[in-house]
Structure 1
Amino acid sequence: MKFFQLISLFFFVVSGIQAQQVTVKGSILDTSSQQPIPYATIAVKSLESQTLISGTTSNEDGLFEMEIDSQKVTFEISFMGYLPVTIAEFKVSNNQIDLGTILLQEDSQQLDEVLIVGQVSQTEFKLDKRVFNVGADLSNTGASALEVLTNVPSVNVSIEGAISLRGSQGVEILINGKPSVLASEEGNALGTITADMIQSIEVVTNPSAKYNAEGTSGIINIILKKDERKGFNGSVTLNTGVPNNHSLGLSVNRRSEKFNLFSQLGVGRRTRPVENEMESIDYSSNSIVSSYGDGEKNESFLNFTLGTDYIIDDYNVLTLSGNYAFEKEDENYSTFFNTYSDNALETAYNRLQDVTAENPKYQYEFNYKRDFKRHKDQSLLFSALGSFFGKDQTSNYANNYSFGSTDDSQQITDTDFKEAEYTFKLDYVHPFNDVHTIETGAQYILDDVSNDYTTSNLENGEFVIDNDLSNDFNFTQNVFAVYGTYAYEKEKWGVKLGARLENTQVNTLLENTNEENDKNYTNLFPSVHTSYKFNDDISLQAGYSKRIYRPRLWDLNPFLNIQNEYSLRSGNPNLNPEYTDSYEITNIYKLGKLSLNAGVYFRYTTDVIERIVTYEGNVSTSMPANVGTNKATGVELNAKYSPSNWLSLSYDFNFNTYKRDGSFNDQVFDFRANQNTSKLQTKFRLPADFDIEMTGNYNSSYETIQGEVSDTWFVDAGVRKKILNGKAIVNLGVRDLFASRIQESYTYQEDFYQRNWSKRGRFVTFGVSFGFGKGEAMEFSGSRRH
């Protein structure tokens, strides 16, 4: 009852914020074709300060309607690919403002940052970054943020959930532009963010000095929704699917002249089945180990966000927000092992694994932003962010023999993991005029992690701790940074110069053995970006930045993962960070109904971190190590063709060739190889408000430092129907339509060979979304911006 009382109190407080309102309406058309422009942005700004105070988007027929509290405003209408229109003069009659028909003229290139709000994923350019904005991809029904990333150009997500950008896994994941416990790789944190919570996803392939230097291949920034329309808005979505994929999402927003209260709630349960195989051969002893099995991971999750913006005046805004997420995991796996010696069967047994875990996460944030009257782009922003992530996990293992032994064995592992992180950031932007701008700021990140890991073996009816596989590992990392940038930008040409200085202090401690490792290093990270607009259809962008990849907890933690007794994984507390120099040249063309982005890039990485596999007694152990340098040269192509208003085609292609030079323990790892990825997306708009989408993905095979990874391909599909004038949406999504997403890797060495194979299979989800108040039905992938 207390829960429902709190919810009732919340809605009572929200609905009590009232203001006198004026209704604004109009329609938006393309100047040339006279066709409606759906999802164009209508921004309402204060007439005196030109700060944003409200806004909405046009519907599929180009129509819009909203309510505002003040008549001292201007309206700015914009959409990607069109010149913006500003309306400062209008008539008010009977508390209504009719802006009539607004015509937008096409513009082939926009260098200012704009978030894309249409149904089709698009690309935008800025002086210091290139951003991919996700459209309303139909196959994302009920998907988590990790699954949504598979539809983002240049981004690949493996079956195990490893995220890579342009073939490199050195990626920094941010939430709303900041480090977040929800983006932590220590657990399935991104699984608590469902697609309907996401507004857009930005991929920054070559960040400027303003951004964290972390992430050798770039930054992925997941922007969550925060509706800012005046009045009471909300939407609710319900998803169900096979295998189990059930979730409920609720978004509520109330905005007045002084306050914007926002909240989101997501609850659900999902099942992730998996099949796996392994085969290893020790040529020196002519022994073989093979295994095959399956299992599933069941996750129940809750994610709740509550926050408020307090608009002090036209120039000052305070934001307070909090987020609580909780996961409960229940996993079970059954794997059959056979061992052979000289082709004769020695043992056969079934290894059973049952895992239970509880993962609480919470985050709280304070922001203060000050704008200035002298220039609309001058601003000061201070933010303080605190977060916590915990994992209390117990794994039970049992080996049941059917041949070669009668001594069944049991093991238990217990994990008590805790991570606290605090981020303080100050940013200041000072435009001297519309051409010259400087930015400066500082950031301090404190990260404190502990992992108490215990392995116990069943001996004489009692579980006894195995000290060789147990320890308490503590990890702290503090990073202090200051930066400055200068930008010169005119209509045709612009340049941005920057430098970032970061000091890093790292300490690792194995408490049981008192093994301690301290590192303290300071680095300078310069950046240079420039762009030139030849004409309305052709633009060129180039950039350079220096990046760093700091080893994470699971890179450093020396504990062994014993899920598979013959294939162990551990960390290495002696790792050094990777450093990458990144160069990129990209251009954008518009040829009628075809838009084309093409670019080349080069990355030089030192102290490359690779997992090295060693083999002894049929047991392989994978451990990361610094093994040398890597030179990667690549070509990337993104194309979109919209021959009509009912059909659009998008194609993304990335090819890179790389040269590795390095050694480890007197073993040389020099080689050359290449890889490529491609993605083709087709969207159809049919009569009766039906939309159909098909997305095909292909990742080529590629060579690794000790072997190779096989190629993969899979297809996602979806169909959507809008009903009740767009207030409700029904959506059917299928991920991996042909159940073809199989990952297979091989390790080749002089004395041993190993093959690993895994598969997850097809997922089908049906979703219904409904908007209430002034809200609209969710677009599932969260591409809407209001």
Structure 2
Amino acid sequence: MKKITTLFLLLTCALYAQKGPKVSVSGKIIEASSKQPLEYATLILTNVKTKKVTGGVTDLQGNFLVTIPKGLYDMKVEFIGFKTKQLAQKQVSENINLGTITLSEDAEALDEVEIIAEKSTVEIRLDKKIYNVGKDMTLKGGNASDVLDNVPSVNVDAEGAVSLRGNENVRILIDGKPSALVGLNGTDALRNLPADAIEKVEVITSPSARYDAEGTAGILNIILRKGKVTGFNGSVNTTIGNPDLFQLGGNVNYRTKKFNIFSNLGYRHRRGPGNSFTKFSYINDTTSEIDSTQIEDRTFDRKSNNFNSSVGLEYYLSKNSSITGTFFYRKSLGDDVATNDTDRFLNTDPTQILLQEDRVENEEEDGTDKQYAINYTNNFDGNGQKLNIDLQYSENNEVEDSPITVNGALSEQNSQITSSIDKLIQIDYVLPIGENSQFEAGHKSTFQDLDSDFRVQILDPNNTFDPSNAINFKQNIYAFYAQFGSKIDKFSYLLGLRSESTDIDLTVFTTNQFSDINFTELFPTINLGYELNDNDNLTLGYSRRLQRPRFWFLNPFESRSSATNIFRGNPALTPTFTSSFDLGYNTKIRKFTLGASLYYQLSTDLIRPVSIIEVRNGTNVFVRQPVNLNDEKRYGFEFTSNYNISKKVRLSGSFNFFQFNTDAFTYTYTAADNTQVTTVLDEVNESTWFARLNARITLPANIQWQTRLRYRGPQSNAQSDREGIFVANLAFSKDLFNDKATLVFNVSDLFNSRRRESTTFFGGRENPSTISEGDFQWRERQISLNFTYRFNQKKKRERPQREYDGGGEGFGG
């Protein structure tokens, strides 16, 4: 068992000193099979005469440079999981270069590796934070939404909407690019992506110029697992649970010196019961008393069957270049039944019923997603110069049928057919300049062509249907960027500029309505870092970003969750632009690490949904529609921490507080009956917070116990108040069959408390015309049992390597 660790060596080097003239020993260490550089590999030098030990570790490109006194030295190279290589004894009297040293994997050693310093859950970079999710037992049997909901700074609400530091306009990427994995409906698609397929999540609150400018809150980049071990290996896993849950998946990888074949397959059946309760209080304008009350009691019974598959082949053209082709396919079938019991009565005489109906919507979904991708990578001389070319083609098709019955009779026959073709071309080039600097430039073009035919077919007394509501949405984005980064002693910087030209065309065929949005904008980025010492550093970031109106926000046709609750898009929307500032501090004190951030965001023409009331045939209809509000100022601070009390007790937590201010706003529009409807939105100056606590404890018999607690504080905006939400997850894990298998028992939402309770004021807070009080639970408590079996994969193998992606992580952190 290897006892020499990187940490021990660094301490030895710091304490060791010897008088006399100094010389340098340099070289490069690579992996024998793939010829890839090994970062953090260790060169150990022992002075034959004095028996003093010194040495160093390799950098990102596998290079090392060690300064030592002249003398006769024994030399060897070590890396966890690789065979130790003993070098020839050398008399070092002048600067020498040992050349390129190759290390081969040691299969036997992998079985006995003791993880002395477990890989940190959080890795800090100059422009991002990386959260490794592999050891989180509470995610076993879960999906991508569960993974994101466990990442500090991120929240996923009861309906699946993802927010970063309280802002829902966050850009979600897969392996650094838009992906068919996100699909037409990002929320639903994330629920269908299994957690076991995810290796880590990058939280990018101050993106460099390399990244898309889309997403005013920042970017969440989901990194999927990929096989890197030579030979044939893989794993299978299955999950069963209550409410009904069955999941079967696996991955297979075969790698040789010339090619790497990898694949992932997964099937998932799930039943997701949920419920909601809404009370509408109608207020008399003259008396300010409640005239009547309407209660809507809804239950959801959602069933889904999803099949995911991907296959890829990476071919090594040379030791520094490769071409990779991948194909992804997903089939999604859904059968959702929503039952809505509605009662409306006079408050002065509750026995006088104004409305009573039983509305049942049976929504059947059939979706298919395909994606073809080709990547070419050339590392040139292996010293950091790199060229990446990506080509991507995606097809997304979805058919929805939603017959609706009211009091047992067919009332509506709704349907939607949506198809989208997406294309991507991306070129990225990285050029190192000297030892500590690099220049990067690139281009990216994305093309989306989407057709949607959405029909709300209401049966009238003559048994006729409404016409088709068809739209075509085209969005083309052309981006160019350049950035330069360098490290000067303890100071690092990354400066960039991105240009994006946007062309959005929306055609509404029924009304011959056209919407054309064209603009070109510049997006500067600045990321600075300063290392106070080995354990403390400061970061400062600035970025300009935007939110483009999505097609469902522009679509003027109505979708209905009930006869009186409607969502409608707004073709007149314009983009939101945001300037963000982020100041961070990170420190490590023995077993305790702490990260702190202060942030400020200024958004113009903010896009937010507004709730309004229309009177249709004597009935109040509640319509939600996105509009451009006034400017918003948002600022806050957050803390993330890890405390490893011992090898058996590990704690982590995070706390985020933010405040936002939006000016008063009056929204007036013309309803279908040509009447003017005015909604007053009061000034908002509110704050909220959320916190997480995670504990992982090793019990007797080497059983792992993990508990995760989350609380999201109450929040208010221009029209509504939302109560706080508390969620607790619990998991127990046990390794079996000599660590080849793992059994995990998981309880998600232990107290069944993940409910959204809110109050909405229609017409303004001061003199509302209607008050809505709601209680919504998207899904109930989930209990599951997960079993994973690995063949030719080592559960405890730790390869502390970083794959440089050109995003600035080579500087600082």
Contact 2:338 2:361 in 1 (8 A): yes
Aligned residue for 1:201, secondary structure, equals: strand
Describe how 1:238-637 pairs up with structure 2 within 5 A. Answer: 238-284=238-284, 286-343=291-348, 344-373=352-381, 376-400=383-407, 408=409, 410-459=411-460, 464-467=464-467, 470-616=468-614, 617-637=619-639
Q: 1: CA distance between counterparts of 2:326 and 2:590?
A: 45
Paired residue type of 1:721: K
Q: 2: CA distance between counterparts of 1:75 and 1:222?
A: 34
Q: Paired residue for 1:754?
A: 772
1:629-664 deviations in Å (ceiling 9; x for gaps): 111111100011111100011110000111112523
Contact 1:728 1:776 in 2 (8 A): no
1:611-645 deviations in Å (ceiling 9; x for gaps): 11111332110000001111111110001111110
Alpha-carbon distance, 1:77 to partner: 3.8
Aligned residue for 1:445, secondary structure, equals: strand
Alpha-carbon distance, 1:128 to partner: 2.4
Contact 2:243 2:272 in 1 (8 A): yes
Q: Paired residue for 1:177?
A: 176
Aligned residue for 1:181, secondary structure, equals: coil
Q: Paired residue for 1:150?
A: 149
Q: Paired residue for 2:30?
A: 45
Contact 2:154 2:165 in 1 (8 A): yes
1:683-711 deviations in Å (ceiling 9; x for gaps): 10123221000000000111112111111
% identical equivalent positions: 29
Q: 2: CA distance between counterparts of 1:93 and 1:140?
A: 35
Aligned residue for 2:738, secondary structure, equals: coil
Paired residue type of 1:641: Y
Contact 1:569 1:621 in 2 (8 A): yes
Q: 1: CA distance between counterparts of 2:116 and 2:685?
A: 49
Change (3 A) 1:93 1:721: closer
2:793 to 775, 778, 782: 775
Change (3 A) 1:77 1:241: same
Contact 1:55 1:229 in 2 (8 A): no
Paired residue type of 2:330: A
1:490-548 deviations in Å (ceiling 9; x for gaps): 44111111000000000011111110110110000000011000111211111100011
Alpha-carbon distance, 1:52 to partner: 4.7
Q: 1: CA distance between counterparts of 2:104 and 2:585?
A: 50
Q: 2: CA distance between counterparts of 1:507 and 1:543?
A: 34
Q: 1: CA distance between counterparts of 2:79 and 2:434?
A: 24
Change (3 A) 1:281 1:305: same
Change (3 A) 1:502 1:33: closer
Contact 1:629 1:662 in 2 (8 A): no
Alpha-carbon distance, 1:29 to partner: 4.8
Alpha-carbon distance, 1:192 to partner: 2.6
1:7-26 deviations in Å (ceiling 9; x for gaps): xxxxxxxxxxxxxxxxxx96
Is the counterpart of residue 677 in structure 1 residue 677 in structure 2?
A: no
Q: 1: CA distance between counterparts of 2:517 and 2:123?
A: 39
Q: Paired residue for 1:663?
A: 665
Aligned residue for 2:558, secondary structure, equals: coil
Q: 2: CA distance between counterparts of 1:606 and 1:181?
A: 30
Q: 2: CA distance between counterparts of 1:332 and 1:97?
A: 53
Aligned residue for 1:208, secondary structure, equals: coil
Alpha-carbon distance, 1:92 to partner: 12
Aligned residues: 708
Paired residue type of 2:443: A
Q: 1: CA distance between counterparts of 2:197 and 2:34?
A: 31
Describe how 1:227-246 pairs up with structure 2 within 5 A. Answer: 227-246=227-246
Alpha-carbon distance, 1:346 to partner: 1.6
Q: 2: CA distance between counterparts of 1:567 and 1:778?
A: 52
1:83-102 deviations in Å (ceiling 9; x for gaps): x9996849999997998999
Change (3 A) 1:75 1:746: farther
Is the counterpart of residue 648 in structure 1 residue 650 in structure 2?
A: yes
1:418-453 deviations in Å (ceiling 9; x for gaps): 111111100000011122211000000001111101
Paired residue type of 1:693: Q
Contact 2:693 2:708 in 1 (8 A): yes
Change (3 A) 1:89 1:717: farther
Is the counterpart of residue 693 in structure 1 residue 694 in structure 2?
A: no
1:180-207 deviations in Å (ceiling 9; x for gaps): 1212352621233101111111111110
Paired residue type of 1:332: V
Aligned residue for 2:404, secondary structure, equals: strand
Contact 1:235 1:776 in 2 (8 A): no
Change (3 A) 1:149 1:345: same
Is the counterpart of residue 131 in structure 1 residue 116 in structure 2?
A: no
Contact 1:236 1:778 in 2 (8 A): no
Aligned residue for 1:562, secondary structure, equals: strand
Aligned residue for 1:270, secondary structure, equals: strand
707-716 vs 520-529, which moves further: 707-716
Paired residue type of 2:542: Y
1:538-595 deviations in Å (ceiling 9; x for gaps): 1111110001111112211122112211111111111111111000010111112111
Paired residue type of 2:398: K
Change (3 A) 1:275 1:784: farther
705-714 vs 322-331, which moves further: 705-714
Contact 1:127 1:530 in 2 (8 A): yes
Change (3 A) 1:94 1:253: closer
Alpha-carbon distance, 1:132 to partner: 2.8
Paired residue type of 1:386: Y
Q: 2: CA distance between counterparts of 1:618 and 1:354?
A: 24
Aligned residue for 1:554, secondary structure, equals: helix
Alpha-carbon distance, 1:459 to partner: 4.8
Change (3 A) 1:620 1:49: closer
Change (3 A) 1:466 1:647: same
Change (3 A) 1:421 1:55: farther
Q: 2: CA distance between counterparts of 1:491 and 1:54?
A: 20
1:766 to 775, 782, 785: 785
Contact 2:418 2:452 in 1 (8 A): yes
Contact 1:199 1:785 in 2 (8 A): no
Change (3 A) 1:706 1:308: same
Paired residue type of 1:316: S
Q: 1: CA distance between counterparts of 2:342 and 2:397?
A: 33
Aligned residue for 1:561, secondary structure, equals: strand
1:339-388 deviations in Å (ceiling 9; x for gaps): 12354322222111111110100111000011121x51110000001111
Aligned residue for 2:379, secondary structure, equals: strand
Q: Paired residue for 1:162?
A: 161
Task: Give 5+ residue unaligned stretches, structure 1.
Answer: 1-24, 35-42, 57-73, 107-116, 402-407
Q: Larger Rg: 1 or 2?
A: 2
Aligned residue for 1:775, secondary structure, equals: coil
Task: Give 5+ residue unaligned stretches, structure 2.
Answer: 11-27, 42-75, 89-100, 286-290, 669-679, 804-813
1:114-173 deviations in Å (ceiling 9; x for gaps): xxx84x6x2222222233332421111211111221111111001111000000001000
Contact 2:115 2:796 in 1 (8 A): no
Q: 1: CA distance between counterparts of 2:161 and 2:362?
A: 23
Contact 1:27 1:102 in 2 (8 A): no
Change (3 A) 1:734 1:210: same
Aligned residue for 2:407, secondary structure, equals: strand
1:283-308 deviations in Å (ceiling 9; x for gaps): 13723221112121111000000001
Alpha-carbon distance, 1:735 to partner: 0.5
Return the TM-score normalized by structure 2: 0.82
184-193 vs 343-352, which moves further: 184-193
